[in-house]
Structure 1
Amino acid sequence: PRAFAHPLALVVAAQFLGACAEEIGWRCHLQPLLRTRFGPVTASALVGVLWGLWHVPVFAQEPAYAAGFLLATTAMSVILGLALEGVRSNRLLLAGGFHTLINLGMLYVTDETTAATEPMLLLGAASLAAAVLWIAAARRTGRAAPDEIIVATAPGTR
Structure 2
Amino acid sequence: MHSSFRTPAWFYFGVAFGITWAFWLFPVLASRGILPLGQGAQLACLFAGSFGPFVGAFLAAYRDGGWPAVREFAGRSLRYRMGPIYFLAALLLTPVAAALSMAWLASHGGPPFAIAVSLSHLPLLYLELLLFGGSVNEEFGWAYAIDRLQQRQSLLRAAVVLGVIWGCWHIPLFFVTGLTQSFMPFWAFLVFTVALRIVIVWGYASNRQSILIALLFHTGSNLAFNLFEVVDRSSRHDQRGFIGYGLIVLVIALLIAFSARCYQRVPPNSIAGTDDKVLE
Say whether the fold is shared (TM-score over 0.5). yes
**Partners of 2:117 and 2:241 in 1: how far apart?**
21
Q: How many residue pairs are counted as aligned between the two chains?
A: 142
Over 3 Å counting, the alpha-carbon distance change for 1:102 and 1:85 in structure 2 is: same
Residues 132-147 of structure 1: pairs in structure 2 closer than 5 A? 132-138=254-260, 142-145=261-264
Structure 2 residue 267 is matched with structure 1 residue 126: no
Structure 1 counterpart of 2:129: 15
Structure 2 residue 144 is matched with structure 1 residue 36: no
**Partners of 2:238 and 2:220 in 1: how far apart?**
20
Deviation by residue 1:25-76 (Cα, 9 ceiling, x = unmatched): 012x1011111111111111111112222223246445xx221111011011
Contact 2:150 2:268 in 1 (8 A): no
Residues 1-158 of structure 1: pairs in structure 2 closer than 5 A? 2=116, 7-17=121-131, 18-27=134-143, 29-56=144-171, 57-58=173-174, 60-61=182-183, 65-88=185-208, 91-112=210-231, 114=233, 116-138=238-260, 142-145=261-264
**Partners of 1:109 and 1:2 in 2: how far apart?**
6
**Which has the higher Rg, Structure 1 or Structure 2?**
2
Deviation by residue 1:2-42 (Cα, 9 ceiling, x = unmatched): 477xx443321121113122101012x10111111111111
Structure 2 counterpart of 1:154: none
Over 3 Å counting, the alpha-carbon distance change for 1:92 and 1:116 in structure 2 is: farther
Normalising by structure 2, report the TM-score: 0.45
- What's the offset of the Cα at 1:113? 5.8
Long gaps (5+) in structure 1? 151-158
Q: Percent identity over the alignment?
A: 24
Long gaps (5+) in structure 2? 1-114, 175-180, 270-280
**Partners of 1:3 and 1:79 in 2: how far apart?**
25
Greater relative CO (CA pairs within 8 A, separation 6+): 1
Over 3 Å counting, the alpha-carbon distance change for 1:149 and 1:3 in structure 2 is: closer
**Partners of 2:265 and 2:240 in 1: how far apart?**
33
